[in-house]
A and B are shown apart, each in its own frame.
Chain A
């Protein structure tokens, strides 16, 4: 292995935790999918651990391993349009430093989010769906009423009408 590469790898390992995925793959934030793929292949040719399988265990080998894992992590995120859009918003936002590594919401969190959105109880979800239908049919008064009913925690629900939701919760 040449010395220049070793210096580059050690330097990259130093700053790895300050780089976003675009920087890890050395591409622009608007790179196209084929550009992402070829950047990933280029990075793989340079940092794939198989290239260093005969290298003795030590700091350099560990660092190369750490870099390559981050390259894979970057690729997994950026090759997926949905993840990439969310990630880009994250790193352009005020919390950039905290969001350099993409973390998907867990299934439980997603479930919770969905519940918050569409109502936590079966009855609540029914009202939500009815609300959507009202909206589609442009019956806005009905839509508003149904949307208020979707969650037992909605504070706008008149107390006299709460019995229906209480049963469902």
Chain B
């Protein structure tokens, strides 16, 4: 058991909701805020007077203060400005997404510009203060979870967010792995389990083998563009098309109507999952050309809903096939299936998962809280020298280096256990060359254009010589957080060269320092009154 002042918290930083947990008297406990809420909308609302609202009260501002309220920041964190995801977000988000230096993404709120880690840091700060309010003293150590399929840029940016929030991030932990930890396997018998993790924005599946004290991730696969939000989108399209047919007005053309439509769709999804049908009613959703205020009325049946989303559900099983194949297994080899993520409450998901895996699913722990609880368990064990469980996690994506002609070369295969390192030798290709530039990618295609570029690494300071004469050994390392580190050394002299690692979308140390001060000054409104 860790000392009380040495407590480390577990944070599930979700696309739509976040949750925080600690180990208290040997019990894994989800910490509620002052209002008894156990999950908190990952929404940040900047008020006119300078106060910042985070959580469920901020969520209510998505409509009324749309320009100054940021949600789904996790979809944008660690992305390049030119990526599809950013373009997609610009089309649907009411807040202003602008381009920062080095192709990074920034959010403009009034006259202030924020990086994505700064936005997420405000959510993390809220999680931190929920625990501090509860315990009555400060905490600074944390384990923060990310989707297993997050690439290096997204992990780095999440870690930066933690640092900005004044947290010492002990570990960036994969969400499905956290799920498995929370279910407390690993006691005595060896079991093989699948963790089916359908969140708001992403889908992950991991296959784990759990022996005594050891959690080995055999394979992981995922889709970063598949989650509960897509289910909402389907309902939204259905509602909008229906309204268009009936009234000749496309609600999607106005950002405010769209936002109301989105909220109604999310509610409908929850209702239809719980009650078998949903009555949708939004008063005053828009005005017709003559100025008459119009309402939106519809009824969604479960059969209709299931028909709408069946292809999305099927897509998750394609990813499951991939993960099983990579682990050289079939569904029959599995002992258990765990469900993680809010959307796994939907009967259509439960039934389909049960059918696909051919066994009952485990859902004893609230799927919205299970990840935070796993993070707390890991946080506690990292603090406790006597702890005895070890996570043998893998890297979800192949690490590659750009070669001539727009191709890439594999450096570290996906599903390789981490930490791991691999060295590769390069020679200079010009006489008197002073610098070597290496492009690093993550992805499953040999073509560079089909992979995600992590950044360019430029090495200098090695011996200057004729071309092909100077050999530089570049070492690629993936650490226990799944974060990529690159170092270079002159082979002949054995001297480590100075290397400048510049991830194009990342924050520099100086930027983090400034952001940290800004974050410390930010006053998070406490209380309903602030809304």
Residue of A nearest to B409 (CB): A106
A26 surroundings in chain B (CB, below 8 A): none
Q: A50-B382, A50-B480, A106-B410 are in contact. Are A45 and B416 (CB under 8 A)?
A: no
User: Of B212, B416, B446, which one neighbours A72 at CB under 8 angstroms?
Assistant: B416
The answer to whether B382 touches A45, judged by C-beta atoms less than 8 angstroms apart, is: no
The reply to whether A41 and B211 form a contact with Cβ atoms under 8 Å apart is yes
Q: Quick one: which of B409, B416, B419 contacts A65, CB cutoff 8 A?
A: B419
Most interface-central of A38, A45, A50 (chain B CB within 10 A): A50
A44→B392 contact, CB < 8 A: yes
Contact A76 B416 (CB under 8 A): yes
Asked if A49 contacts B211 (CB within 8 A), the reply is no
Interface flags for B421-447 (1: CB within 8 Å of A; 0: not) read: 100000000000000000000000010
CB of A82 within 8 Å of the partner chain = no
Q: Which residues of B contact A106 (CB under 8 A)?
A: 409-410
**Which residues on the A side are within 8 Å of B388 (C-beta)?**
45
- A44 adjacent to B420 (CB under 8 Å): no
Is B20 interfacial (CB 8 A cutoff)?
no
Q: How far is the CA of A65 from the CA of B480 in the complex (A)?
A: 10
Known contacts A54-B383, A54-B385: A45-B420 contact under CB 8 Å: no
Nearest-neighbour CB distance to chain A for B421, whole angstroms, equals 5
Is the beta-carbon distance between A69 and B419 smaller than 8 angstroms?
A: yes
Query: In the bound complex, do residue A107 and residue B214 qualify as a contact, i.e. CB atoms below 8 Å apart?
Result: no
A139: CB under 8 A from chain B? no
A45, B214: Cβ atoms closer than 8 Å: yes
- Inter-chain contact B390/A48, CB cutoff 8 Å: yes
A51 at the interface (CB under 8 A from B): yes
Residues of chain B contacted by A73 (CB below 8 angstroms)? 420-421
A69-96 CB mask vs B (1 if < 8 Å, else 0) is 1001101100000000000000000000
Could you tell me if B420 and A107 are in contact, using CB atoms closer than 8 angstroms?
A: no
Majority secondary structure of chain A interface residues (helix, strand, loop or mixed): helix
Contact count band on A? 20 to 34
Q: Which of A10-52 touch B at CB < 8 Å?
A: 38, 41, 44-45, 48-51
Q: Mark B385-415, 1 if CB is under 8 A from A, else 0.
A: 1011011100000000001000101100100
Which residues of B have CB within 8 Å of A68? 419
A-B contact count (CB 8 A): 59
Cβ of A138 within 8 Å of any chain B Cβ, yes or no, is: no
Query: Which B262-293 residues have C-beta < 8 A from chain A?
Result: none
Residues of A near B129 (CB, < 8 A) are: none
- Does residue A160 face the partner (Cβ distance < 8 Å to B)? no
Assuming the A-B contacts A54-B383, A68-B419, A72-B420, are A107 and B410 also in contact, with contact meaning beta carbons closer than 8 angstroms in the complex? Answer: yes
> Nearest CB to that of B216 among chain A residues?
A41
Query: Closest CB-CB distance, B141 to chain A, in whole Å?
Result: 10
With A41-B214, A106-B409, A108-B403 as given contacts, are A72 and B418 in contact (CB-CB < 8 Å)? yes
Beta-carbon contact of B421 and A107 below 8 Å = no
Closest A residue by C-beta to B378: A50
Decide if B382 touches A44 in the complex (CB within 8 Å).
Answer: no
* Residue of A1, A38, A45, A50 touching B381 (CB-CB under 8 A): A50
Per the bound structure, the CA–CA distance linking A107 and B402 in Å amounts to 12
Say yes or no for A53: interface residue by CB 8 A criterion: yes
Given contacts A50-B480, A106-B410, A108-B403, contact A75 B391 (CB under 8 A): no
Query: In the complex, A67 Cα to B243 Cα: how many Å?
Result: 63
Question: Can you name the residue of chain A whose Cβ is closest to the Cβ of B446?
Answer: A107
Smallest CB separation, B254 vs chain A (Å): 50
Q: Are B421 and A69 in contact (CB under 8 A)?
A: yes
Q: How far is the CA of A49 from the CA of B385 in the complex (A)?
A: 11
Known contacts being A50-B381, A50-B391, is A72 close to B417, with CB within 8 Å? yes
The answer to whether B419 touches A53, judged by C-beta atoms less than 8 angstroms apart, is no
* A114-B398 Cα distance, complex, nearest whole Å: 23
Provide the residues of chain B in CB contact with A38, threshold 8 Å: 211
B319-378 at interface with A (beta carbon < 8 Å) = none
Query: Closest CB of chain B to A51's CB: distance in Å?
Result: 7
- B417 & A75 in contact (Cβ 8 Å cutoff): yes
Q: Which residues of B contact A53 (CB under 8 A)?
A: 170, 382-383
Contact B480 A49 (CB under 8 A): yes
When the two chains form their complex, are residues A44 and B480 in contact, meaning their CB atoms are under 8 A apart?
A: no
> Closest CB-CB distance, B187 to chain A, in whole Å?
15
Q: Are A69 and B477 in contact (CB under 8 A)?
A: yes
Does chain A have a CB within 8 A of B250? Answer: no
The answer to whether A44 touches B419, judged by C-beta atoms less than 8 angstroms apart, is: no
Known pairs A38-B211, A48-B392 / 5 extra A-B pairs, C-beta < 8 Å: A50-B391, A50-B480, A51-B385, A65-B419, A108-B407
Which 5 residue pairs across A and B have the least CB separation, nearest first? A48-B390, A72-B417, A53-B382, A41-B214, A72-B420
15 residue pairs of the A-B complex, CB under 8 angstroms, read: A41-B214, A48-B392, A50-B382, A50-B387, A51-B387, A53-B383, A65-B419, A69-B420, A69-B477, A72-B416, A72-B420, A73-B420, A73-B421, A75-B417, A76-B416
B-side interface residues toward A, CB under 8 Å? Answer: 170, 211-214, 216, 381-383, 385, 387-388, 390-392, 403, 407, 409-410, 413, 416-421, 446, 477, 480
